[in-house]
Amino acid sequence: MGDTGEKCRPGVETDGEVSAVFLGTHTPRLDDKGRLFLPAKFRERLSTGLVVTRGQERCLYVFPMDEFTKVTQQMQEAPTTNRAVRDYIRVFLSGASDEIPDKQGRVTIPAHLRQYAGLSRECTVIGTGSRVEVWDTEAWNDYLASTEQAYSEQSEEVIPGLM
Categorize the per-residue pLDDT at 6 as very low, low, confident or very high, splitting at 50, 70 and 90: very low
Count of domains observed in the chain = 1
Q: How far apart are the first and last CA of the chain?
A: 33
Do the domain assignments include residue 29?
A: yes
Of 20-24, 30-34, 48-52, 136-140, minimum mean pLDDT range: 20-24
Amino acid symbol at 57? E
* pLDDT given at position 103: 95
Do the domain assignments include residue 77?
A: yes
- 138-153 per-position pLDDT tens digit: 999 999 999 988 888 8
Categorize the per-residue pLDDT at 154 as very low, low, confident or very high, splitting at 50, 70 and 90: confident
* pLDDT given at position 155: 67
Domain that holds residue 43: 2-153
Do the domain assignments include residue 161?
A: no
DSSP class per residue in 20-71:
EEB-SEEE-BB-TTSEEEPPHHHHHHHTT-EEEEE-GGG-EEEEEHHHHHHH
| % of the chain exceeding 70 in pLDDT | 85
Do the domain assignments include residue 89?
A: yes
**Number of helical (H) and strand (E) elements in the chain, helices listed first:** 5, 11
Do the domain assignments include residue 162?
A: no
Indicate if the pLDDT at residue 1 is higher than 50: no
User: Of 101, 105, 128, 125, which is closest to residue 22 (Cα–Cα)?
Assistant: 128
Categorize the per-residue pLDDT at 132 as very low, low, confident or very high, splitting at 50, 70 and 90: very high
Give me the chain's average pLDDT, please. Answer: 88
Task: Spell out the residues 6+ positions from residue 3 whose beta carbon is closer than 8 angstroms to its own.
Answer: 24, 26, 27, 39, 40, 41
**pTM across the whole model:** 0.85
What DSSP designation does 17 have? E
Do the domain assignments include residue 134?
A: yes
* pLDDT given at position 142: 96
Task: Spell out the residues 6+ positions from residue 116 whose beta carbon is closer than 8 angstroms to its own.
Answer: 54, 58, 60, 95
Do the domain assignments include residue 163?
A: no
Do the domain assignments include residue 9?
A: yes
What's 139's domain CATH number?
3.40.1550.20
